Structure 1
């Protein structure tokens, strides 16, 4: 695939996605390829950081172990707005497993993704450690590769990450939802995500700082179409996991929250939506005044875009929730990772406050999980 940047082109969301699409369902690598990587990550720790600073994600709280697989989609009917060629999307599918015995835990990032992220991290989020300081590839998820699924029908939740972030930064919340009986599909949006490993190789972000309005619109247009593509193929890649047509919800962080709500606005298959601090003022994507499905609007008290956010949410019939002592990225895995980096002396207190706030990370992680889990439990059977 071409890796050159191009000028973003505006596109208008369509009501349906043509079916000329290629789908590849794979495990995270293959079991044979992953076992050495997972074993190495488990024993290596965070080799580049001071002793005792290995980064860990909070464990899920539900009764079920979590299974994991990855899926690659190619939409032959749509041109990638960033680099040209057919549009490609990568997914991580997390689901409640019958057992995790004999199934290795997956690393949060593949080795190539971790190397790329180590270089990009301080550019995407000012104040994160420089390359060579933290071994991001040593962070393990609680997802067990190709674990046998727990039998029974399950609601499905789609997740769209924040602009500039990859799908992997939504891992802890997704794993918790899966451990409580949901199927969660983490969606990467190549081009604006920091890095995405496709079968053809790594794709890097085209973003350089905050996107201008035209670029932001292209991001959201593209994400809405990506999410529609995923909706079209849920029956295909959930074969063997979900036995029947599931109830579907959607949630997202920041630009992902924006995309999630507009995707729900345009697609009746989505029965409930949660916006984790994403603006909803893109009127050319459709007025949300008559949005008629359950909607969770969750924000932090430390977000510097709070005034615009509140204006864009005004009048919407959503359930409101506030995370206190928190920053914008408290709604991602940074909530758990950044305080550990501060304890190790690898980020300053000012960086921690700017990213995730000052509250006890364990408290905010649990509040976020409780709010999102409870919302979908009420509205998706």
Structure 2
């Protein structure tokens, strides 16, 4: 089971902070401030774009690899979630934020009430028909993180016409539920060191490149789902695979950088507050890359970011979000403020989890800058946010 030591921050590989993959680990017994209905889930902020959202999960098996974390597993099996602009959503149920079988373990690790997480739904409709021809963005979560921990940012991109594919890195993720009901939990060795972290990045990169291969299969009309479950109408030909981007939080940001260096299919990438691990991650590329950090005040620059900056040959920008912390770049930024009363969190504890910047404002800024970056580099739409300081966003500091 992952614990606080698995938090990968820009300041140290092995953080003793209360963050695991950017979502907080509550180490004290929850105390309810007021009764809650078991059916009342948390609320995710509404995406701002015009498109309705559809989603489908796929079970993918890579028979060319054994599982790197569980000896004896003859294949590598992962789950992905495809989020897409939907043509018609009527009659399709709202997709859960986390699959039901994964909830008990997730809540044991992250301290949130299981009944509320179980009742939390997204704005995506399961299996809705697809509006295609869209640029594609991949998402990799932080170490120990599930594919759903970036839903707030993912939904925003989809509502503005992107297809986003989120990846569960099995046995790295805290838990992954498969369609047959299996729940696979984290199996990375408990004594995490730099060598294991580097190995995790290599595994994640191989996962990502495999996912890109399988998206091409889907786009050509194939169905790589291990159970051959029915795919949504219109998914064939929906992906514009000439315009692929990737972003990730923490170790997911390092994964984005490393994959971009080795795979030219990815045209633009974003690292959200992650130390860059391994030679590939710091080597850069000739394609655009954005570094967005939490607020580290007057602390010195992460040395891995300096190495990357020198190596990066393509367009590059480094920004910092004032009032944010490492966990601000996950869905924890909206979940923990809602849960704070029932968990008995003090204002100081909550700020340690999500920062001092108001959560709604933090989400707005992250969404706008992420979309501005991909609009500019995948769609050719020049974004003023990428050009310099914007008075509408005084919280963003242009580092270089």
Query: Same fold by TM-score, threshold 0.5 exceeded?
Result: yes
Alpha-carbon distance change, 287 to 208 in structure 1, aligned in 2, over 3 angstroms: closer
Q: Distance in 2 between matches of 1:80 and 1:305?
A: 38
Shift of 1:286: 6.7
User: Deviations along 1:147-194, whole A, 9 cap, x unmatched?
Assistant: 1112x4110001000001101111111111001000000001001101
Q: TM-score, normalised by structure 1?
A: 0.79
Equivalent pairs counted in the alignment come to 325
After superposition, the CA RMSD in angstroms is 2.5
Alpha-carbon distance change, 100 to 244 in structure 1, aligned in 2, over 3 angstroms: closer
The within-5 A match list for 1:122-271 is 128-129=111-112, 135-150=116-131, 152-200=132-180, 201-207=182-188, 211-238=192-219, 239=221, 240-241=234-235, 242-243=237-238, 245-246=240-241, 247-271=243-267
Q: Distance in 2 between matches of 1:148 and 1:119?
A: 35
The answer to whether structure 1 residue 77 and structure 2 residue 64 are counterparts is yes
Q: TM-score, normalised by structure 2?
A: 0.75
Q: Secondary structure of the equivalent of 2:323? A: coil
Which residue does the alignment assign to 1:293?
A: 287
The answer to whether structure 1 residue 63 and structure 2 residue 50 are counterparts is yes
Alpha-carbon distance change, 187 to 279 in structure 1, aligned in 2, over 3 angstroms: same
Structure 2 gap ranges (5+): 2-31, 222-233, 380-400
Q: Distance in 2 between matches of 1:365 and 1:88?
A: 32
Name which of structure 1's ranges 358-367 and 296-305 shifts more when overlaid on structure 2.
296-305
Q: Distance in 1 between matches of 2:345 and 2:168?
A: 27
Which of 364, 367, 377 matches 1:366? Answer: 364
Which residue does the alignment assign to 2:26?
A: none
Name which of structure 1's ranges 345-354 and 55-64 shifts more when overlaid on structure 2.
345-354
Q: Distance in 1 between matches of 2:208 and 2:106?
A: 24
Alpha-carbon distance change, 269 to 135 in structure 1, aligned in 2, over 3 angstroms: same
Alpha-carbon distance change, 78 to 48 in structure 1, aligned in 2, over 3 angstroms: farther
Which residue does the alignment assign to 2:302?
A: 307
CA contact (8 A) 1:164 1:207 kept: no
Q: Secondary structure of the equivalent of 2:65? A: strand
Q: Distance in 1 between matches of 2:214 and 2:253?
A: 21
Alpha-carbon distance change, 222 to 177 in structure 1, aligned in 2, over 3 angstroms: same
Alpha-carbon distance change, 133 to 141 in structure 1, aligned in 2, over 3 angstroms: closer
The answer to whether structure 1 residue 278 and structure 2 residue 274 are counterparts is yes
Q: Distance in 2 between matches of 1:68 and 1:210?
A: 36
Name which of structure 1's ranges 69-78 and 191-200 shifts more when overlaid on structure 2.
191-200
CA contact (8 A) 2:104 2:114 kept: no
Alpha-carbon distance change, 328 to 287 in structure 1, aligned in 2, over 3 angstroms: closer
Shift of 1:302: 4.8
Alpha-carbon distance change, 54 to 347 in structure 1, aligned in 2, over 3 angstroms: farther
Q: Distance in 2 between matches of 1:327 and 1:181?
A: 29
Q: Distance in 2 between matches of 1:244 and 1:133?
A: 35
Name which of structure 1's ranges 57-66 and 320-329 shifts more when overlaid on structure 2.
320-329
Q: Secondary structure of the equivalent of 1:301? A: coil
Q: Distance in 1 between matches of 2:100 and 2:300?
A: 34
Which residue does the alignment assign to 2:35?
A: 50
CA contact (8 A) 1:164 1:194 kept: yes
